[in-house]
Structure 1
Amino acid sequence: MILAVDIGNTSIKLAVVDETTIYDVTRCQEPEFIDHLSRLFSNYHDLNAACVCQVGTIDVKLLHHLESLVGVMYINHTIKLPFTNKYESTTLGNDRLALVAGSFHTSFEKGAKLIIDAGTCITYDFIDKDNQYLGGAISPGLNLRFKSLNDYTAKLPLLQPSRVKGFLGKNTNDSISTGVIQGTALEIDGMISRYNNKFKDTQVLLTGGDSQLLKKQLKSRFFATPFLMLHGIYNLYKNNS
């Protein structure tokens, strides 16, 4: 049983994780971090290690506090992976390493997998049937798309992601929402179709904060897995212990 720490671009996610189960998932910002650590270590006396996956920024003092409580492993490009990394540079994000590692959780079938993470960015990561990571793609997430319409036009408002019905926007707000949400869903469906055409029997795993909204718009078959990152953090820790 370990503490998994996912430091993203917009928030920090904490959870207690073991071989099969995710416990007590908590999302917070930096000011609440130490309070949540105290609560988790008080409630879970079997916590004996922590593993950190960081892509966003965090005050280093908070990580030093965590290190004072328990041994900490940090995910980076030098660690041992449960797959063969064919990426052509060392700049593959720590989050993408963890997502791919999460696809090795026992609940998923063996074989080729396309992992789609709908977060600040939408990332596509592909691992073939021989457990070789071949690469993927990155595109703007929903909030980035909404924000860009507001930033780079004179009059379009800044909207938040919300459920849409149909594809005909009959006012400006609905047109923006439909264009962003439906457009993103069409992008994802198109990417899934392209991978399925090239790689037979590809299993699609969908995760990330915007997956709940997007999955209602998708036509493709996929497996929704909200805790893929946390399973991946645990798998990488075990692979390096």
Structure 2
Amino acid sequence: MILELDCGNSAIKWRMIDGASLVVHRGRAVDLESLIAQIADLSEAVSRCRLVSVRGLEQTRLIVDGIRALAISPEVVTPAATLRGVVNGYDDYSRLGLDRWLALVAAFNRCRAACLVIDIGTAVTVDYVDASGQHLGGYIAPGLPMLRQLIVQYAASVSLPQREREVLQSNFAPARSTSPAVESGCYLMLRAFLNERLSQADSELAASYQVFVTGGDATIMNGHPDVIIAEDLVLEGLALALP
């Protein structure tokens, strides 16, 4: 089986796939220690490991060393100017985040057409790819965790209990206390940003296009017509980069 790891800023997402690319196991770890605990009993079945990381060199090295301690040798993806029909649109291609790059490569290879790729996690990224596979660039904005953290950081009296956040995700009526006011405000701000980017796609792509959404908070886009929620888009791109 193949072990695939997506080492993001706030968590390490992993899955194991068999020879037919069917997902056999999956998980999410908050740190290296919990990752090792989750995969240790499965390590003997691993014949290959693919890894993408947006963490710094030192943190990525620690993760690689931790995986190697299980007798697994990770293959780590690196930046590229072109990949599987997609041309990196950054002036310096090495500066485009690898998670963004792999997600838009996976999206384009799914549809082989113009696409808008949205990753909603700790940060939110939006990228445009035209019908020829040319990456036109994109945007980076704070995600819900960042927005909440900023408010708590700069307003010492504000606290946001997890229980209240879970209840309020679908309720955006004017709030009568601080916590729901913050939660609703963050959600509405993010949805407005994403709606504007969807509207912009009509002019940027100038053709029919598909919208792919991934990331831990991808459900924010539930209800939007013609939006494809793709949970493992980054890992799909990782498989294309290291086939």
TM over 0.5: same fold?
A: yes
Provide closer, same or farther for how the CA distance between residues 23 and 193 of structure 1 changes in structure 2, counting only shifts above 3 A: farther
C-alpha separation in 2, matches of 1:207 and 1:180: 19
- State yes or no: 1:100 paired with 2:101: no
Q: Which residue of 2 aligns with 1:233?
A: 238
- State yes or no: 1:88 paired with 2:91: yes
Are 1:122 and 1:141, in contact at CA under 8 Å, matched by a contact in 2? yes
- Specify the SS of the correspondent of 1:103: helix
1:67-146 to structure 2, matched below 5 A, reads 67=68, 69-78=71-80, 81-82=83-84, 83-89=86-92, 90-105=94-109, 108-146=110-148
C-alpha separation in 2, matches of 1:64 and 1:109: 36
Q: Which residue of 1 aligns with 2:35?
A: 33
Q: Which residue of 1 aligns with 2:209?
A: 202
Unpaired stretches in structure 2, ≥5 consecutive residues? none
- Quote the sequence identity (%): 23
Q: Which residue of 2 aligns with 1:24?
A: 25
Unpaired stretches in structure 1, ≥5 consecutive residues? none
Provide closer, same or farther for how the CA distance between residues 154 and 34 of structure 1 changes in structure 2, counting only shifts above 3 A: closer
Are 1:189 and 1:219, in contact at CA under 8 Å, matched by a contact in 2? no
Deviation at 1:70, TM superposition (A): 3.7
TM-score by length of 1: 0.85
Q: Which residue of 1 aligns with 2:174?
A: 168
Q: Which residue of 1 aligns with 2:221?
A: 215
Q: Which residue of 1 aligns with 2:189?
A: 183
User: In the TM superposition, what whole-angstrom CA distance separates every residue of 1:72-129 from its partner, at most 9, and x where no partner exists?
Assistant: 3211214862111121122111111221222145xx3220111100001000122111
Are 1:2 and 1:234, in contact at CA under 8 Å, matched by a contact in 2? no
User: In the TM superposition, what whole-angstrom CA distance separates every residue of 1:168-215 from its partner, at most 9, and x where no partner exists?
Assistant: 223222221111112211111111111123322121101100112x12
TM-score by length of 2: 0.84
- Counterpart pick for 1:224 among 226, 229, 235: 229
Which structure has greater helix proportion?
A: 2
Stretch moving more, 161-170 or 49-58: 161-170
Whose relative contact order is higher, 1 or 2, with alpha carbons under 8 Å and at least 6 apart?
A: 1
Provide closer, same or farther for how the CA distance between residues 79 and 137 of structure 1 changes in structure 2, counting only shifts above 3 A: closer
Are 2:108 and 2:129, in contact at CA under 8 Å, matched by a contact in 1? no
- State yes or no: 1:63 paired with 2:68: no
